[in-house]
Amino acid sequence: MGMTITEKILAAHSGRDFVEPGEIIDADVDIVLANDITAPLSLEEFEKVGAEKVFDQDKVVFVLDHFTPNKDIISAENCKKIREFSKKHGIKHFYEGGRCGIEHALLPEQGIVVPGDVVIGADSHTCTYGALGAFATGMGSTDITYAMVTGKIWFKVPESIKFLCYGEWNRWVTGKDLILHIIGMIGVDGALYSAMEFDGEAISNLSMDSRMTIANMAIEAGAKNGIFRPDEKTMAYVEKRAKRPPRVFESDRDAQYKQVIEIDVSKLGLKVACPSLPSNVKDVEDLKDIEIDQVVIGSCTNGRLEDLKMAADILKGKKIAPWVRCIVIPATPDIYRDALKLGYIEIFADAGCIISPPTCGPCLGGHMGVLAKGERAVATTNRNFIGRMGHPESEVYLSGPAVAAASAIAGKIMHPEGF
């Protein structure tokens, strides 16, 4: 019997020739990741267990992206703890200040994660790296401590669900619309502790940016991980970045799946997840006269160059509605520089946008765009739970960059061709 790509990666990292769903395994990890919110608890546990060093200085990564630049004393103290720990233990991959980007955009861009890796992070959207053909998943801070010390962690091998996508993509439609459609179809627990595997001709035609968006939101369907077969686009992306040799795995033809779901993307339009679940998905055309106060274009989901280009194409020569705050957040310094060279930053400034340095910021109601009572936002982020972006009586609508940009101009939720 064959294995899926997820099963093959876990088998290879646990010294096994074969694993199957439901088995408990101990696996070697390639990357252990934490950020400025989640790392301090891990470091406290590190001290409690009496650990003297991390298992590998090159494989522990700290990215101070959530509340930085420091928004208050608590965030400043957290960052200080991580900075001092990183100096003491010679952590190679420590990112803060002008070197820092949003972690799940930064690590692939810098070649820290490569195909075939096992990556764990103290952040639920660690599953983003599945776009590269890695097994990547989020864990709690104490689990991260164990891996920091030993270089190992245990897993229950997940079942796999294959999403076989075919057809031609419509204009403005991206991976964000596909993953919102899937979450709307199967629900926020429809892939509970499963591997969501994406394949088919429509997936092959997607950019790496869009693939990362899809993998990023696998957790919103309850999945353990999202994953893509590495293809020519993957290897072209990785080749110029990789810090380590990749290991390419792909599913066997006789691999067993819990379910196979086929999707014709030619029938897919622009989607919006309405308050207050990522599964409350509607077509943008069905949402009329919903006035908004804020738009956020950014995050680990949609802050990459392709997203900024799409927003800039719509905003060029236009103005943000006078009662709307439109916040644009390039996900990394390199993305910011590229957007500057390509003229996108000027377009955003001319339109009246607020342009932020790379940060998670408003996505989790941290800073740089917290909502007041009764306010509504359209955001290219990944979650719209009650109180996610600020006051518990505010509302967040999730969309791709095209709908977000069009809505910023209109002052209400709008299709980009609706003017």
Q: Which helix (H) or strand (E) holds 197?
A: strand 194-199
What domains sit in the chain, N to C, each tagged with a CATH number? 5-263 (3.30.499.10), 272-410 (3.30.499.10)
Provide the 8-state DSSP code for 267. Answer: G
Q: In whole angstroms, what is the distance from residue 71 CA to residue 68 CA?
A: 6
Q: In whole angstroms, what is the distance from residue 367 CA to residue 67 CA?
A: 7
Q: In whole angstroms, what is the distance from residue 40 CA to residue 343 CA?
A: 39
**Residue 69: what pLDDT?**
86
Contact between residue 161 and residue 262 where contact means Cβ atoms under 8 Å apart = no
Q: In whole angstroms, what is the distance from residue 357 CA to residue 145 CA?
A: 30
**Residue 146: what pLDDT?**
97
Q: In whole angstroms, what is the distance from residue 156 CA to residue 207 CA?
A: 31
The model's pTM: 0.97
Question: In DSSP terms, which residues pair with 297 in a beta bridge?
Answer: 328
Q: In whole angstroms, what is the distance from residue 302 CA to residue 404 CA?
A: 11
**Residue 151: what pLDDT?**
98
- The phi, psi pair for 358, rounded to 5°, reads -55, 125
Q: In whole angstroms, what is the distance from residue 124 CA to residue 300 CA?
A: 11
How many residues can be counted in the chain? 419
Tokens coding 229: 């077969």
Tokens coding 360: 């998670």
Tokens coding 83: 């900075």
Q: Which helix (H) or strand (E) holds 61?
A: strand 60-63
Contact between residue 103 and residue 109 where contact means Cβ atoms under 8 Å apart = no
**Residue 68: what pLDDT?**
80
Task: Give the Cβ contact number of residue 91 at 10 Å.
Answer: 19
pLDDT in tens, the chain (419 residues): 899 999 999 999 999 999 999 999 999 999 999 999 999 999 999 999 999 999 999 999 999 999 988 999 999 999 999 999 999 999 999 999 999 999 999 999 999 999 999 999 999 999 999 999 999 999 999 999 999 999 999 999 999 999 999 999 999 999 999 999 999 999 999 999 999 999 999 999 999 999 999 999 999 999 999 999 999 999 999 999 998 999 999 999 999 999 999 999 999 999 999 999 999 999 999 998 999 999 999 999 999 999 999 999 999 999 999 999 999 999 999 999 999 999 999 999 999 999 999 999 999 999 999 999 999 999 999 999 999 999 999 999 999 999 999 999 999 999 999 76
